[in-house]
Amino acid sequence: MRLKKYWMTKPSPEPRIIAITGPTASGKTSIAVELASRFNGEIVSCDSVQIYRELDRGSAKPSPDEMKGIPHHLIDILSPDTVVDAWKYKELAEKVIGDILSRAKVPILSGGTGMYFNSLYFGMFEGASRDEIIRARIVQRIENEGTAPVLDELKLIDPEIGDKISPNDTRRIVRALEVYYVTGTPLSKLRELNRKMELDWLIIGLNPDRKALYERINTRVDEMIENGLIEETARLMEKYGSEAHSLQSIGYRHCVEYLNRKIDRESMIAMIKQDTRHYAKRQWTWFRKIPGIRWFDPSHLSTIAETVSSFLET
């Protein structure tokens, strides 16, 4: 494979990838596009909403002008009623990344969906996909019996996992039991089959001023509403039903509640803003756990570019 000159200086044992991540509305798209234009790159979306077709107003997809001619992958590729889990995303993303590398280009992962990022960076085992019926039964058990007896069952089935999970972490409890009920194999055993694409990573986290970010989120939500988010949601509901997987995302699920007359317009907008701010906080928490991530103020593009240049040349 013929690589660009800046990779030829001192070859790395693994192909290189750059990741631009951080909270929503922090400017990941514009920085990824700028880096792609400077370093012969192509962008791979790491966003669980932009992957769907027809979800335009509420997903902050880059416009053709914002893309500036840079190829973007994993945007607008799936029907809104398709269920996508982290394993499915990993399969799609690794295929795209391999293709980009085969053409001597630099893959630039851009987005803030933590589970998608982890599936690539840490790898995954090919375990059970979500089973909504089984999942619902486990959730119902927790509601009826409490967490303790369900966690005790998990500890008997899979003590390696069960002993490490907090009693308050119902999401992980449900997932571990779901995997066992679907596959008949404890989650800890499946993890021994973990698979990942061997890559040399530079992970750039965008860390904007929190107050400014929240103001930007509020403004973005207002613009989404003005640009037709409610009308778009109504069309999607009519075509795919209000239970479509993609419509459970922030913004769309609130519009579904409004259109179903469960909340009023003012409450809907306030809830979208609040839940988006909370999501941004969770993203900060999630990505701070990633080893080796390097944090930058989004306005320091020149410093970010210098860091990328050094990574590719070293």
The per-residue DSSP string of the chain comes to -PPPHHHHSS--SS-EEEEEE-STTSSHHHHHHHHHHHTTEEEEE--TTTTBTT--TTTTPPPHHHHTT--EESSS-B-TT----HHHHHHHHHHHHHHHHHTT-EEEEE---HHHHHHHHT-B---PPP-HHHHHHHHHHHHHH-HHHHHHHHHHH-HHHHTTS-TT-HHHHHHHHHHHHHHSS-HHHHHTT-B----EEEEEEE---HHHHHHHHHHHHHHHHHTTHHHHHHHHHHHH-TT-GGGGSTTHHHHHHHHTTSS-HHHHHHHHHHHHHHHHHHHHHHHHTSTT-EEE-TT-HHHHHHHHHHHHH-
Q: Does residue 140 sit in the same domain as residue 239?
A: no
- pLDDT per position as a tens digit, 55-79: 999 999 999 999 999 999 999 999 9
Does 72 fall in a domain?
Answer: yes
In the chain, the percentage of residues whose pLDDT exceeds 70 is: 95
Statement: the pTM of the whole predicted model exceeds 0.95:
no
- Give the model's pLDDT for residue 127: 66
Residue with tokens 């109504």: 234
Rounded to whole angstroms, the Cα distance separating 155 from 289 reads 26
Q: Does residue 187 sit in the same domain as residue 203?
A: no
Range of 185's domain? 132-191
Rounded to whole angstroms, the Cα distance separating 247 from 170 reads 23
Q: Does residue 59 sit in the same domain as residue 86?
A: yes
Ranges 84-98, 117-131, 261-275: which has the least confidence: 117-131
In this prediction, residue 131 has a pLDDT band, given cuts at 50, 70 and 90, of confident
Greatest Cα pair distance, the chain, in angstroms, is: 62
Residue with tokens 């690794």: 94
Rounded to whole angstroms, the Cα distance separating 147 from 167 reads 7
Task: Assess whether pLDDT exceeds 90 at residue 11.
Answer: no
In this prediction, residue 190 has a pLDDT band, given cuts at 50, 70 and 90, of confident
State the average pLDDT over residues 132-154: 94
- Give the model's pLDDT for residue 192: 84
Q: Does residue 27 sit in the same domain as residue 160?
A: no
- Give the model's pLDDT for residue 1: 34
The CATH number linked to 302 is: 3.40.50.300
- Give the model's pLDDT for residue 246: 96
State the average pLDDT over residues 191-212: 94
- pLDDT per position as a tens digit, 226-248: 999 999 999 999 999 999 999 99
Rounded to whole angstroms, the Cα distance separating 62 from 110 reads 12
- Give the model's pLDDT for residue 128: 63
Task: Assess whether pLDDT exceeds 60 at residue 168.
Answer: yes
Distances from the Cα of 61 to the Cα of 26, 47, 235, angstroms? 14, 9, 18
Fill in the amino acid letter for 202. L
- Give the model's pLDDT for residue 194: 86
Does 286 fall in a domain?
Answer: no
Does 112 fall in a domain?
Answer: yes
- pLDDT per position as a tens digit, 244-299: 999 999 999 999 999 999 999 999 999 999 999 999 999 999 999 999 999 999 99
In this prediction, residue 129 has a pLDDT band, given cuts at 50, 70 and 90, of low
Total structural domains in the chain?
Answer: 3
Q: Does residue 116 sit in the same domain as residue 60?
A: yes
Mean pLDDT of the chain: 93
The residues, any chain, with a CB within 8 Å of residue 293's CB and separated by 6 or more, are: 21, 203, 204, 205, 287
Q: Does residue 141 sit in the same domain as residue 235?
A: no
Q: Does residue 30 sit in the same domain as residue 105?
A: yes
Q: Does residue 205 sit in the same domain as residue 87?
A: yes
